[in-house]
Structure 1
Amino acid sequence: MSTDTPAPLPFTTPVTPALLRGALDVERTDAGLLPHRLPAAARAQAPDGQIALAEAQSSGVRLVFRTRATVVELEARRTRTVYQGVPPRPGGLYDLLVDGVLAGQGRASGGNALDVDMATGVTRFRAGPVGCVRFDGLADREKDVEVWLPYSERTEVVALRTDAPVTAAPASGRKVWLHHGSSISHGSDAASPTTTWPARAALLGGVELVNLGLGGGALLDPFTARAMRDTPADLISVKIGINLVNADVMRVRAFAPAVHGFLDTVREGHPDIPLLVVSPLLCPIHEDTPGPSVPDVGRLGEGRVRFAAMGDPEGRATGKLTLRVIRDELARLVEQRCADDPHLHYLDGRELYGEADADELPLPDALHPDAATHLRMGDRFAAMAFGAEGAFAAL
Structure 2
Amino acid sequence: MITTPIEPALFRGGATLEPATHGLRLHRLPPWVREQFPDPQLLMMESQPSGIRMSFRSTAQRIELTTHSTRVVYRGADRARGRVDLFVDGEFRESDTLAGGDAITVDLTDGTTGFVPGASHVSVFGELPASDKRIEIWLPHNETVDLVALRSDAPLVPSHEALPVWVHHGSSISQGSNAGAPSDIWPAVAARHARVDLRNLGFGGSAMVDPFMARVIRDSAADVISVALGINVVNADAMRLRAFVPAVHGFLDAIRDGHPHTPVVLISPVFAGIHEATPGPGAFDPATIGTDQVRFIATGDPADVAAGALTLEVIRRELASLVERRSADPHLHYLDGLDLFGSDDASRLPLADGLHPDAEAHQLIGRRFADTLLRVRGGTPPFAAASSS
> TM-score scaled by structure 1?
0.94
Q: How far is 1:79 from its partner?
A: 0.8
Match of 1:149 among 135, 139, 152: 139
Partner of 2:386: none
Distance (Å, rounded) in 2 between the aligned partners of 1:60 and 1:335: 31
Q: Which amino acid aligns with 1:391?
A: V
Q: Deviations over 1:168-227 (max 9, x none)?
A: 11x411011000000000001001111100000001111110000000000001111111
User: Structure 2, unaligned stretches of length 5 or more?
Assistant: 384-389
Between 102-111 and 118-127, the greater mean CA deviation after superposition: 118-127
Q: How far is 1:351 from its partner?
A: 0.3
Secondary structure at the residue paired with 1:391?
Answer: helix
Partner of 1:265: 254
Does residue 41 in structure 1 map to residue 32 in structure 2?
Answer: yes
Q: Deviations over 1:257-306 (max 9, x none)?
A: 10011111111111111000000001111111000110112211323210
Match of 1:393 among 375, 378, 383: 378
Q: Which amino acid aligns with 1:150?
A: P
Distance (Å, rounded) in 2 between the aligned partners of 1:140 and 1:227: 40
Q: Deviations over 1:244-269 (max 9, x none)?
A: 10110000000111001111111111
Q: Which amino acid aligns with 1:316?
A: V
Does residue 120 in structure 1 map to residue 110 in structure 2?
Answer: yes
Partner of 2:6: 15
Partner of 1:193: 182
Q: How far is 1:24 from its partner?
A: 4.2
Q: How far is 1:121 from its partner?
A: 3.4
Partner of 1:308: 297
Q: Deviations over 1:106-128 (max 9, x none)?
A: 02333111112223333323222
Distance (Å, rounded) in 2 between the aligned partners of 1:274 and 1:100: 26
Q: How far is 1:132 from its partner?
A: 0.6
Partner of 1:299: 288
Match of 1:74 among 46, 50, 65: 65
Secondary structure at the residue paired with 2:193?
Answer: helix
Does residue 338 in structure 1 map to residue 327 in structure 2?
Answer: yes
Match of 1:58 among 38, 44, 49: 49
Match of 1:135 among 125, 128, 136: 125
Distance (Å, rounded) in 2 between the aligned partners of 1:325 and 1:119: 32
Does residue 352 in structure 1 map to residue 340 in structure 2?
Answer: yes
Secondary structure at the residue paired with 1:14?
Answer: coil
Distance (Å, rounded) in 1 between the aligned partners of 2:112 and 2:140: 24
Secondary structure at the residue paired with 1:288?
Answer: coil
Identity across aligned pairs (percent)?
50
User: Structure 1, unaligned stretches of length 5 or more?
Assistant: 1-9
Distance (Å, rounded) in 2 between the aligned partners of 1:282 and 1:90: 23
Does residue 284 in structure 1 map to residue 273 in structure 2?
Answer: yes
Partner of 1:7: none
Distance (Å, rounded) in 1 between the aligned partners of 2:68 and 2:344: 41
8 Å CA contact 1:14–1:158 kept in 2: the answer is no
Partner of 1:252: 241
Between 68-77 and 112-121, the greater mean CA deviation after superposition: 112-121
Partner of 1:3: none
Distance (Å, rounded) in 2 between the aligned partners of 1:235 and 1:383: 13
The two structures, once aligned, show a CA RMSD in angstroms of 1.3
8 Å CA contact 1:23–1:35 kept in 2: the answer is no
The structure 1 segments of at least 4 consecutive aligned residues displaced by more than 4 Å after TM superposition are: none
Aligned length: 380
Distance (Å, rounded) in 2 between the aligned partners of 1:393 and 1:197: 21
